[in-house]
Amino acid sequence: MKTRILIVFAVVALVVAFAYTASTPAAPNKGNANAVPAAAPQPNTTTATPAEPHPEIREAIAALRHAKEHMEHAAHDFGGHRVEAIRATDVAIHQLEDCLKYDRD
């Protein structure tokens, strides 16, 4: 059980670290002068629907919610560490949701 808690802490720490790096604005794109222009779409062709934006972040949010649910139903308090892990998970979920909101702006 201690190993499980350590794994959860490690996952939460990685997600929080990812959230902070993902929320940092990227440098402006300076187009490549040697880039090949995109071909114009051909008439009577079907266009593919765009892929879901940021599926990894959405999967991380789902995984954190799942982990939080497990921690909330754990049999022991583990000296207060379970409560702290739940708080850290809430912070990580909030950060990732902010990442998605930032992308829409």
87 half-sphere exposure, CB direction, 13 A CA radius: 5
> Around Cβ 18, how many Cβ atoms within 10 Å?
17
**Length, in residues, of the chain:** 105
Total-model pTM = 0.51
The dihedral over CA atoms of 56, 62, 65, 67, expressed in degrees to the nearest 10, equals -80
The pLDDT value given to residue 94: 96
What is the spatial distance between Cα 44 and Cα 10, in angstroms, rounded to a whole number? Answer: 51
Render each residue's pLDDT in the chain as its tens digit; 105 residues.
Answer: 666 776 776 777 767 666 655 555 554 545 554 555 555 555 555 566 666 788 899 999 999 999 999 999 988 888 889 999 999 999 999 999 999 888 765
Strand segments, DSSP code E, in 10-98 are none
